[in-house]
């Protein structure tokens, strides 16, 4: 018996031109993981070489820095940068995940709390602090993500780690009701170091006040020099005509947003393109974006001994 003929596959549509090497600042929508955004950008940019700097939880929105092509090599310098958030903390309800996606553990009447009661515990959570991350964070424990261990039924206790909270400002306080119990919703603005968990700040604020707390909303408004003003939604990116590549922030501009810049003359640009060191001059400590006379990103450099040496070369010399 002969096999039935397969239906002809419809011809594929035109492939969008590949995006240039550079950075997209995406305004991540709620409900999407950071990996979901990367997968979408891969299709929009017509390339597999896409990565992100700094995971956002699915419930969070806002700035997600996405590197395309050679810009993925810049992401390590973005991931460790400080960040700004706006958030809403619900005082009076504790959850298993320290945010609104978890199951409720306890509900306490918070009607007696006033804005003045927040001053001391907020101050205690500002500056250099030791923070215990949420047990459902992405931190690895013996090679496995903490959240995976929790989902498999394990009790996970993570060690406290040093973080820096430069700003924890209370913006608004208002009453709400949960199951007939009065709770408080507190809007805050946060500036913090990489590795700080805003939901852990919500949990610890509630614990300090004796009523429990969790995060109900989180929006990242800045990472390093990338802010919401630079961000585009996935729908805006998808509206790019199919015959045009999506527009990215060029490598040099992307590097300037993440790192201090060192302007090069022709001789230094050529030396770095060959992987050679250059005189440091008055260069500050830490990585620098080395920008050539033509405005292109030549390399990321660091002081090593008496010279500035390339860590990553973006414009290698032609061979």
Please tell me which residue in 20, 21, 27, 57 is annotated as part of the active site.
Answer: 57
Cα–Cα dist 156/147, whole Å: 9
Cα–Cα dist 52/79, whole Å: 9
N-terminal to C-terminal alpha carbon distance within the chain: 61
Residues 6+ apart with CB under 8 A from 160: 130, 131, 132
Q: Which two tokens stand for residue 124?
A: 């205690």
CA-nearest of 102, 107, 159 to 136 is: 102
CA-nearest of 208, 234, 196, 251 to 85 is: 196
Q: Which two tokens stand for residue 280?
A: 């440091």
DSSP structure string for 269-303: HHHHHTT--B--TTPPSS-EEEE-TTS-EEEEEEE
Cα–Cα dist 129/168, whole Å: 12
Classify strands 127-131 and 161-178 as parallel, antiparallel or unpaired. Answer: antiparallel
CA-nearest of 159, 134, 160, 130 to 147 is: 134
Active site residue 116: no
Catalytic positions, written as ranges: 57
């Amino acid at each position: 018996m002969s096999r039935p003929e397969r239906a002809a596959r419809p011809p594929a549509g035109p492939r969008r031109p590949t995006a240039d090497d550079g950075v997209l600042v995406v305004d991540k929508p709620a409900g999407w993981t950071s990996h979901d955004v990367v997968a979408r950008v891969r299709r929009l940019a017509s390339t597999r070489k896409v990565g992100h700097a700094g995971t956002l939880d699915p419930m969070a929105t806002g700035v997600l820095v996405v590197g395309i092509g050679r810009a993925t090599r810049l992401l390590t310098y973005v991931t460790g940068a400080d960040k700004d958030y706006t958030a809403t903390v619900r005082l009076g309800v504790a959850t298993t995940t320290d945010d609104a996606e978890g199951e409720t553990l306890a509900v306490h009447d918070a009607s007696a709390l006033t804005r003045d009661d927040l001053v001391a515990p907020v101050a205690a959570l500002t500056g250099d602090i030791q923070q215990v991350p949420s047990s459902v964070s992405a931190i690895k424990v013996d090679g496995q993500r903490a959240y995976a261990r929790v989902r498999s039924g394990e009790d996970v206790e993570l060690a406290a780690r040093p973080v820096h909270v430069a700003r924890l400002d209370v913006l608004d306080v208002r009453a709400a009701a949960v199951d007939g119990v009065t709770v408080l919703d507190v809007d805050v603005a946060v500036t913090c170091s990489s590795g700080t968990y805003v939901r852990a700040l919500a949990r610890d604020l509630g614990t300090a006040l004796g009523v429990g707390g969790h995060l109900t909303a989180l929006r990242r408004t800045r990472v390093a020099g990338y802010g919401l003003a630079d961000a585009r939604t996935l729908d805006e990116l998808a509206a790019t005509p199919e015959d045009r590549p999506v527009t990215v922030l060029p490598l040099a501009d992307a590097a300037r947003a993440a790192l201090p810049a060192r302007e090069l003359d022709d001789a230094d640009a050529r030396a770095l393109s060959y992987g050679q060191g250059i005189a440091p001059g008055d260069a500050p400590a830490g990585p620098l974006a080395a920008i050539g006379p033509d405005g292109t990103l030549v390399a990321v450099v660091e002081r090593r001994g008496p010279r500035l040496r390339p860590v990553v070369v973006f414009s290698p010399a032609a061979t």
